[in-house]
Structure 1
Amino acid sequence: MGEDHLRGVPRPLDVELPRLRLVDRLRQRWCRPVTLVVAGPGFGKTTALAQAVRANLLDPRGIDVWMTCGPGHENASSLAAAILDALAVDHGPAPGTGDVVAALRRRAPLDVCLLLDDVHEIPGGSPGAELLGTLARTLPDTAHLVLSGRRVGLPLARREAAGEVATIGAGDLAFTDAETAALASRFGRDLTEDLRGWPALIRLSLSAGPAASWRYAAEEVLSRVSDEARTALAALVALGCATVDEVGAVAEAPVRLEHLVRSVPLIDRLDDGRYRAHDLWASMVPTDHLRARAVEVLSARGELAGAGRVACRAQDWGLLARLAVELVRTTLSVLPCATAERWLAAVPAQHVDEPAFLLLKAAVRHAIDFTDPSIDRLVDRACTRMLGTGDHDGAAVALGQAVITAHSRGDLVRLAQVAHRAQQLDVDSPVLRLLRHSTAAVLAELSGDPEEALTHLAQAPVTEVPKALAVSTTRFHVHCLAMCGRGREAAELAERMLDDDLARRHAAAARWFDGQAVEFHGDDPDSTARGEFVARALHTVIAASYGEVTTELPAEQDNPRDAVLACASHAAVAVTRGDEDRARDVYKQHLARWPADIKVAERHLRRFLTLGYVLSDELRERWDSADLGPSHRNAREAGRAFVRARCGDLPAHLPEEHAFCFLPLPWSVELAARLAAAGRTALGTWLADRVGPAVHRRFRELARDPDLAAGATRLLATVPTPPGQPLGIEVLGPMRVTRDGVPVDAPELRRVRVRQLLGLLVLRPVLSREQAMDLLWPGLDPASAARNLRVTMTHLRRLLEPGRAGGEASYCLRGDGDTVRLVRGGLLTADLWSLRELGDADQLDQAVALWRGEPLPDLVDVCEAEIAEVRAQHVRNLLALGELRLVTGDPVQAWRLADRALALEPFEPRGHRLALAAALRARNPQRTVQTRARVLDSLRQLGVRPDPATEILLRQSVSS
């Protein structure tokens, strides 16, 4: 990390005075967690920091990351995103303090300094200020924070009391007499007035010549430049910070900003190619005539907060109203509340009832609490007034907000009202087209025609509208695809178009009811009563496939779609409890209240088609002749297979996943028993592996049923029951086998070939018999090697499951055709599997603790490359944990972890960096010298130069 992370830092000017005393003091920011640079405008805060940053580039002590704050950073997520961008870290749409802290930690073991300029742009008490306060309190031990601005109002009392805050004020930043004289000498002029060391005014006065005041000096400077340059300066002042093209767009003429930098003082060119005029010019250069074009440029680059500030300062409420509508249009349910509330607070009383501000107020209330009933009234008033003035585009935005709120509440009546109003608008915009098609789709789905709904949704321009509205429409599109029995398409759409959490929930449900046994969680963070009701119903039906009973839903519902959810959940619970007669009565009562002739009622019944197919003769007859979608056809085939199996007609083929997903566990186990009686045990084996002990309990129950005993008994004999105690295999060191946590002392474990075979099975998920024979008996002919493998597997089964009866299949060790494998998870664990799975930061302690010595010593000559990767994984864990200890203030433990890693990998650069950084931070001179010597010796042996990060630490180790 170098120059790329200094975007936005002003470049030195020819007349810039290097103040070594101040640069040296600012470089001491590496010694304190927090440094405050606080002074009014014109005291050279930014220039001084820029000089210190560039001095660090010449003689690095760590990493500097520069960011200039702006109006939009009062919103916490915008500020966090900007900091992460400066750190060159990818992030999601709404990052927070935790993401920033994690990014800073990842820079360890190097120190990183985050420099935030113009912090006064973030109002005290705003979400952005709260984020900065939290960041200042939770800084990693290797991170430093520099806050520069006219004021910094953060709660830092605790750090100040501990001596962890350095403050540089106006007195420190002011030029000394000697510095003032040196700068005057460069200009070849004398100052005729005492400017009290004010850097910007001194430079300005020297540029203009002898002056009685800085205002006169500024006027003198401006009088010497052309009209074109003054216009360019005014455009730059209006924008604050801009590129040549942006200034030219505001000035409506080509501009020469490089010439402006040379001819006008207090203008900086930044590293990223942009230019910035000092705030002192704002009171000298009129910009009102450029305001509208400046706002257009700011809006085009997405800086609505900055555009709003321009409008507020000018008290241009008409302009702010247009920006308010744009803010709602581009953000909707992710509105930056801090910005919106600041705008509303600035609006005078006589303007607060204007439609744009009513809409903005409604958006703020939605962001805070979408159940607030006043939102609809505010939106309706705004929409009516916009229509009255002919502002159809604004009315379309208002209707978009109305749809978002109605979707959030699940308020279909409100949606219908919005749809009616949308039809009356005579304007063609993407938002209105989406509103018309999505509301028409809702009405079609409510009438029992989801296919017609899909026709409308296919025409909805979801890629041309704000994200919040697109997400709501896509969620409904996913629902309609599932209603049509197109679950796979529904899942793919959810995964392609929705955010991670939405994709996980909607895609998982769609795939499950398509017959794919995915992981499904019943939680729904939407936190609406409707969302919770749907999630509970789906979870209840899915839980029945595992033989689990969940809390039943209220039976009485006043609409067919919710009545179906209640019916299916009650029936699934009854079947799981073994009360199939009760389940049939549930469906009978439902159909009496909501006959299948009601189209919408019947379409919702298809969502749980297998239950209805088995439990209701009427539905079975209807669906046997119906044209169904792919997912519903899968569900019907599972129902048919079960019904016909009870009549003695076994299915030729039924995917195990379909039997599991579509049938409650009592039915899928019953079907497995009937198939097993005919010698087909695949379904029973699959269910036992997937569900676990509950399946064997069902087998035992069916073994007492005369009609099902034969198949159930065969399954009990061929599908092994899980061991009674947890079994552990430890290969990270000398091999151990534990039962219920206690090491096993078994004679089989003393056989080298048994240990080697067990180690191979832990190392590789699936091992072919041919591979095992080639690795363990390379010198034997195939027949002899196969005989040795059979004997070794017998000993291994006896080691893992000593109590299992002879002839009974092993649970832990499976031989499937040409392969051998261990059944992972559940009651069988291995430390190597855990090592590979424990990758999160809060699990590193556990991962490191698993290591007892060199892994798989019996296989060192057989699997050298794979063992080396296991060792490398442990080294990575040691170093990651060491870096975590370093950033949390435990350098001694960090050094020990680095030392352990280097004992395994002596030339690991990351390990040397960590060891050196830990020794430095522990302020242990002897250890620092020893560690530095080890690093240099390693570099000499390799014949390479240190990388930049290591070079920084080596330099620090000399000066420490």
Structure 2
Amino acid sequence: MGDNTTGLRAVPRPLDVELPRLRLVDRLRTRWSRPVTLVAAGAGFGKTTALAQAVRANLLAPRGIDAWVTCGPGHEDAGRLAAAILDALGRPSLAPDAEAVLAALRGAAPLDVCLLLDDVHEVPDGSPGANLLAQVARALPGTAHLVLSGRTTPALPLARRQAAGEVTVIETADLAFTDAETAALAQKLGRELTEDLQGWPALIRLSLTAGPAASWRYAAEEVLSRLPERTRTTLAALVALGSATAAEVSTVVGGDVDLEQLTREIPLVDRLDDGRYRAHDLWASLMPTGHLRDEAVKVLTARGDLAAAGRVACRACDWALLALLAVELVRTTLSVLPSATAETWLKAVPVQCEQEPAFLLLKAAVVHAHDFTDPSIDCLVDQACALMLGAGDHEAAAVALGQAVITAHSRGDLVRLVAVAQRAQQLDAQSPVLRLLRHSVAAVVAELAGDPETALAHLAQAPVNAVPQALAVSTTRFHVHCLAMCGRGQDAAELAERMLTDDLARRHATTARWFDGEPVDFQGGCADSTARDEFVARAVHAVVAASFGESAAELTAEQDNPRDAVLACAAQAATAVTRGEEDLARDLYKRHLDRWPLEIKLAERHLRRFLTLGYVLNDELRELWDGTELGPSHRKARAAGRAFIAARNGDPRKELPEAHALCFLPLPWSAELAARQAAAGSTRLGTWLADRVGPAAHRQFRELTRDPDLAAGAAKLLATVPAPPDHPIGIEVIGPMRVTRNGVATDAPELRRARVRQLLGLLVLRTVLSREQAMDLLWPELDPASAARNLRVTTTHLRRLLEPGRAGGEASYFLRSDSETIRLVRSDQLTVDLWAFQELSPGEAVALWRGEPLTDLADLCEAEIAQIRGRHVQNLLVLGELRLVAGDPAEAHHLAERAWALEPFEPRGHRLALAAAVRARDPRRMVKTRARVLDSLRQLGVGPDAATEILLRQAVASS
């Protein structure tokens, strides 16, 4: 929220004529003392105006942050409602769901935040939006308040809060004008009210504005009858739109409008803070709007408010218009369809219109949203598409085919994609959607024919940036796949990162980079939302797991298509090699080629995805690929296979990057290659594998000592690459330095040496340390030869401290050194509190703090230690804010005090300390805390920021 401590979005401007209602405004402002306030009354009772006045009163003497959401059509959809709330809270970048809303509310701590939802009757009971509100109400943070206002309020789970006195209910009787308020308003307007209107604010305002009248209808009609035709049309346009900017109303009217004048001349027309205008719902029953319906729907559609446009069509029973909107809703959302809105429309459609193609398509989209495996989707889409083509509506047919593509992609249904491709040939490529469908389905056909290069040519012409996001994502995923099929893994990864959403980008880019020879942290085991995606993820995971010597779960061998058969074959073969069953792996490839011979281009192209396995295990594939022009990624994989085969044939000197050995070879093969290279004099690959893979590599080296041809090289690696220790080691530097073995602190004499502690502390802090740096820091007064001698002695003591049981002359597992550097190697067997401190959640990190860190390095690494201390302060404050949100002001105060002791001038600490004192309702603490904050600000010579100022005022008011 930054410095915007009001956090307001589209709050109606209160009318001065209602300022006599101070009692109601004051009561509404007490929402800060209770978590939930419900305001429920019929139209015209001034709910919005009263709330707006309460918000404005809060601006005069801030009690916290107000965030306003006006609910409307479409907010029955949980995603859209959450997005509106997050926007009001200043956190629009979060994923729109209940957890994100709660996180945003918690994120306002230590300030109170009040979320006000007006017109909440637009969120019907049982809808996804109502369920979202229920989740928010159930888990409402201690510093958050919820105000729901509407003609009705959703049935939320508030029984426990009501029993605890945590719910304020304001109803019709509370909102009605009292006799005194009515008289004050009449006096202010210089009019006399001659009839009893039961305190109904809207009727009283209308009557006082329009003159004596027997009913609000008569008064409204009198107002309308006196309006010029142009003004009536402007009001009708505003009624049709619900709320709108002047430009939008002008578009509907077909000329210039003056909405400011409209607000002055006509009661119950207000301007909102965001520049839009709104006519009260009472005018909707009086103003004919049918003649403006089409233009209003165009405006609503243009601004993306299809839910409101659909409501206009439903109210008018204009099913032809709703059909157009249904196609547009599917076109602009596809797989992210707001199903609640779509279902509302389908329920409104009369039986005689249900078989209209647009509603068949909408029904298919709804079914897809709930269960994309439902076979009825294809029937509905095909029926809709056929009817649309028969009517010559190619644009709508393209939308139907887009839904078919999304569903087929979700299922991984190749047969269905071919059928869609054939039907797409009937379309005229005019719009971006039509052009994309033509090119994308042509690309699918080419890929299925084993020609991904032609598929890429089609995809390069697809206007991805000019079509709905859902269709663009689906096409881009296929584009990434085709690039990988062509051996262009780097291009595939870059496209995924540029065009896909975070989660999709991470998974697709990681897979592409791995099979391009880059050993990134692999996420391939995370399944997508379909059974097809899960199958692919499991197969890829099995191949990657083999690189680390791990056996994955078996996949079904028999597959009815070459693409999935390749996945199963590669996964099973990689697992067999990992288990030492190379003959079985060769047989798996032989059987695969017997069923799917190389003449089937699709099968051969998919075999290249795991090229090294096939290259090593099958002579036929090796001969083919040695004479084939391959893509960059596939050339790297082939080079790995050639290096391995050459080593087996007595030439281990063929250059191969260590990363490629890991990515392209199962661990038994990469370890074998390392052993053959070690026998020839190079232990580089073996050392790299031990560092990257961990104990599994060492176990593989031990296994190779049983093979007479490999024993010498394996033994050399074992002597060079140390085995993991028998017990875990812990290093603690946050507070007095400690070293533990199996969780028990050691009292080794080496730990009493200051230089040993300093060298260990430096390695913990920097992980890799050059010998020159170590000597300059620890022995700046000595000549280089003497400093080098001292470093050797200190390093020997440090090795003995960390691994006392290791035999002399054997390389250390944790401490590695060469002629230039000393390294402390990360390992599952080594825990370092500072490393964990930098990665853990605030609560877990705070628990690690035992005192000042790295005290032996206080004079050598002052800036780095200050950063650690600063991080601890921030962790304390985050944890304190969470405790405050959870309703524990005492612990929040304790954490604020701890942070204050380390950093007395941190504004965030000031706010937490003040908020904890106010929340605890401890006058003495509030006075004391306020004085300390003001003293800190005086020392700095600055004033409080806006949020601190709010809390300082609260402390004064509460004390």
**TM-score category by the smaller chain?**
over 0.9
- Offset from partner CA, 1:515-537 (integer Å, 9 cap, x none): 11122244353343332322222
- Offset from partner CA, 1:462-512 (integer Å, 9 cap, x none): 222222222222111111111111111111111211122222222222111
Provide the C-alpha distance between the structure 1 equivalents of 2:532 and 2:863, rounded to a whole number of angstroms: 55
Match of residue 873 from structure 1:
871
Match of residue 584 from structure 2:
582
SS state at 1:353 partner: coil
Provide the C-alpha distance between the structure 1 equivalents of 2:383 and 2:866, rounded to a whole number of angstroms: 70
SS state at 2:7 partner: helix
1:99 aligns with 2:97: no
- In the TM superposition, residue 283 of structure 1 has moved relative to its aligned partner by 1.8
Structure 2 unmatched ranges of 5 or more: none
Which region of structure 1 is more displaced relative to structure 2, 295-304 or 544-553? 544-553
1:87 aligns with 2:120: no
Asked if the contact 1:235/1:247 (under 8 Å) is kept, the reply is: yes
- In the TM superposition, residue 569 of structure 1 has moved relative to its aligned partner by 2.0
Provide the C-alpha distance between the structure 1 equivalents of 2:443 and 2:297, rounded to a whole number of angstroms: 38
- Offset from partner CA, 1:49-83 (integer Å, 9 cap, x none): 11110110010111111111111110001000000
Which region of structure 1 is more displaced relative to structure 2, 882-891 or 200-209? 200-209
Match of residue 187 from structure 1:
189
Which region of structure 1 is more displaced relative to structure 2, 106-115 or 477-486? 477-486
SS state at 1:399 partner: helix
Match of residue 121 from structure 1:
122
Match of residue 639 from structure 2:
637
1:130 aligns with 2:131: yes
Which region of structure 1 is more displaced relative to structure 2, 125-134 or 526-535? 526-535
Match of residue 603 from structure 1:
605
Match of residue 959 from structure 1:
957
Asked if the contact 1:512/1:661 (under 8 Å) is kept, the reply is: yes
Match of residue 769 from structure 1:
771
The one of 908, 911, 914 aligned to 1:910 = 908
- In the TM superposition, residue 431 of structure 1 has moved relative to its aligned partner by 2.1
Provide the C-alpha distance between the structure 1 equivalents of 2:758 and 2:907, rounded to a whole number of angstroms: 34
Match of residue 314 from structure 2:
312
Provide the C-alpha distance between the structure 2 equivalents of 1:5 and 1:917, rounded to a whole number of angstroms: 19
Match of residue 571 from structure 2:
569
Match of residue 68 from structure 2:
66
Which region of structure 1 is more displaced relative to structure 2, 310-319 or 150-159? 150-159
Provide the C-alpha distance between the structure 1 equivalents of 2:907 and 2:604, rounded to a whole number of angstroms: 66
Provide the C-alpha distance between the structure 2 equivalents of 1:3 and 1:906, rounded to a whole number of angstroms: 23
Provide the C-alpha distance between the structure 2 equivalents of 1:225 and 1:11, rounded to a whole number of angstroms: 24
Provide the C-alpha distance between the structure 2 equivalents of 1:494 and 1:19, rounded to a whole number of angstroms: 58
Q: Which amino acid letter does the alignment assign opposite residue 948 of structure 1? A: A
* Closer, same or farther: CA 3–44 of 1 in aligned 2, 3 Å: farther
The one of 327, 330, 334 aligned to 1:328 = 330
SS state at 1:71 partner: coil
Map 1:508-587; keep pairs closer than 5 Å.
508-587=510-589
- Offset from partner CA, 1:514-570 (integer Å, 9 cap, x none): 111122244353343332322222111111111111222222223222222222222
- Offset from partner CA, 1:407-453 (integer Å, 9 cap, x none): 21122222222222211123522222222222221221122111111
- Offset from partner CA, 1:356-382 (integer Å, 9 cap, x none): 111111111111111111111111221
- In the TM superposition, residue 677 of structure 1 has moved relative to its aligned partner by 1.3
Provide the C-alpha distance between the structure 1 equivalents of 2:525 and 2:224, rounded to a whole number of angstroms: 65
SS state at 2:227 partner: coil
Match of residue 854 from structure 1:
852
- In the TM superposition, residue 819 of structure 1 has moved relative to its aligned partner by 2.0
Match of residue 896 from structure 2:
898
Map 1:7-156; keep pairs closer than 5 Å.
7-92=9-94, 95-155=96-156, 156=158
Provide the C-alpha distance between the structure 2 equivalents of 1:659 and 1:604, rounded to a whole number of angstroms: 21
- In the TM superposition, residue 932 of structure 1 has moved relative to its aligned partner by 2.1
Match of residue 490 from structure 2:
488
- Offset from partner CA, 1:2-28 (integer Å, 9 cap, x none): 476222112233434342111111110
Provide the C-alpha distance between the structure 2 equivalents of 1:116 and 1:551, rounded to a whole number of angstroms: 50
- Offset from partner CA, 1:671-690 (integer Å, 9 cap, x none): 10111112211100000011
Provide the C-alpha distance between the structure 1 equivalents of 2:389 and 2:837, rounded to a whole number of angstroms: 64
Superposition TM-score, scaled by structure 2 size = 0.98
Asked if the contact 2:421/2:445 (under 8 Å) is kept, the reply is: no
Map 1:715-794; keep pairs closer than 5 Å.
715-794=717-796
Superposition TM-score, scaled by structure 1 size = 0.97
Which region of structure 1 is more displaced relative to structure 2, 81-90 or 760-769? 760-769
Asked if the contact 1:238/1:287 (under 8 Å) is kept, the reply is: yes
Map 1:289-438; keep pairs closer than 5 Å.
289-426=291-428, 428-438=430-440
Provide the C-alpha distance between the structure 2 equivalents of 1:522 and 1:763, rounded to a whole number of angstroms: 32
Which region of structure 1 is more displaced relative to structure 2, 877-886 or 414-423? 414-423
Match of residue 947 from structure 1:
945
Provide the C-alpha distance between the structure 2 equivalents of 1:44 and 1:486, rounded to a whole number of angstroms: 64
Which region of structure 1 is more displaced relative to structure 2, 444-453 or 302-311? 444-453
Asked if the contact 1:109/1:913 (under 8 Å) is kept, the reply is: yes
Asked if the contact 2:527/2:537 (under 8 Å) is kept, the reply is: no
Provide the C-alpha distance between the structure 1 equivalents of 2:671 and 2:527, rounded to a whole number of angstroms: 34
SS state at 1:9 partner: coil
Provide the C-alpha distance between the structure 1 equivalents of 2:508 and 2:612, rounded to a whole number of angstroms: 20
Asked if the contact 2:675/2:713 (under 8 Å) is kept, the reply is: yes
Match of residue 711 from structure 1:
713
Which region of structure 1 is more displaced relative to structure 2, 372-381 or 698-707? 698-707
Which region of structure 1 is more displaced relative to structure 2, 181-190 or 2-11? 2-11
Provide the C-alpha distance between the structure 2 equivalents of 1:182 and 1:831, rounded to a whole number of angstroms: 69
Asked if the contact 1:728/1:828 (under 8 Å) is kept, the reply is: yes
Provide the C-alpha distance between the structure 2 equivalents of 1:764 and 1:523, rounded to a whole number of angstroms: 32
Identity of aligned residues (%): 76
Which region of structure 1 is more displaced relative to structure 2, 366-375 or 933-942? 933-942
Asked if the contact 2:272/2:278 (under 8 Å) is kept, the reply is: yes
Which region of structure 1 is more displaced relative to structure 2, 545-554 or 427-436? 427-436
Match of residue 930 from structure 1:
928
Match of residue 222 from structure 1:
224
Match of residue 882 from structure 1:
880
Asked if the contact 1:406/1:412 (under 8 Å) is kept, the reply is: yes
Map 1:787-826; keep pairs closer than 5 Å.
787-826=789-828
Map 1:558-707; keep pairs closer than 5 Å.
558-707=560-709
Asked if the contact 1:266/1:277 (under 8 Å) is kept, the reply is: yes
Provide the C-alpha distance between the structure 2 equivalents of 1:298 and 1:933, rounded to a whole number of angstroms: 54
SS state at 2:317 partner: coil
Provide the C-alpha distance between the structure 2 equivalents of 1:153 and 1:593, rounded to a whole number of angstroms: 61
Asked if the contact 1:524/1:531 (under 8 Å) is kept, the reply is: no
- In the TM superposition, residue 881 of structure 1 has moved relative to its aligned partner by 0.6
Match of residue 441 from structure 1:
443
Which region of structure 1 is more displaced relative to structure 2, 360-369 or 763-772? 763-772
- Offset from partner CA, 1:703-743 (integer Å, 9 cap, x none): 23332222112111111112111111101101001111110
- In the TM superposition, residue 461 of structure 1 has moved relative to its aligned partner by 1.7
- In the TM superposition, residue 649 of structure 1 has moved relative to its aligned partner by 1.5
RMSD: 1.5
Match of residue 165 from structure 1:
167
- In the TM superposition, residue 185 of structure 1 has moved relative to its aligned partner by 1.3
Match of residue 201 from structure 1:
203
Q: Which amino acid letter does the alignment assign opposite residue 101 of structure 1? A: L
Provide the C-alpha distance between the structure 1 equivalents of 2:803 and 2:468, rounded to a whole number of angstroms: 60
Provide the C-alpha distance between the structure 1 equivalents of 2:92 and 2:762, rounded to a whole number of angstroms: 39
Which region of structure 1 is more displaced relative to structure 2, 728-737 or 524-533? 524-533
Which region of structure 1 is more displaced relative to structure 2, 689-698 or 928-937? 928-937
Equivalent pairs counted in the alignment come to 955
Asked if the contact 1:571/1:582 (under 8 Å) is kept, the reply is: yes
Q: Which amino acid letter does the alignment assign opposite residue 131 of structure 1? A: L
Asked if the contact 2:510/2:524 (under 8 Å) is kept, the reply is: no
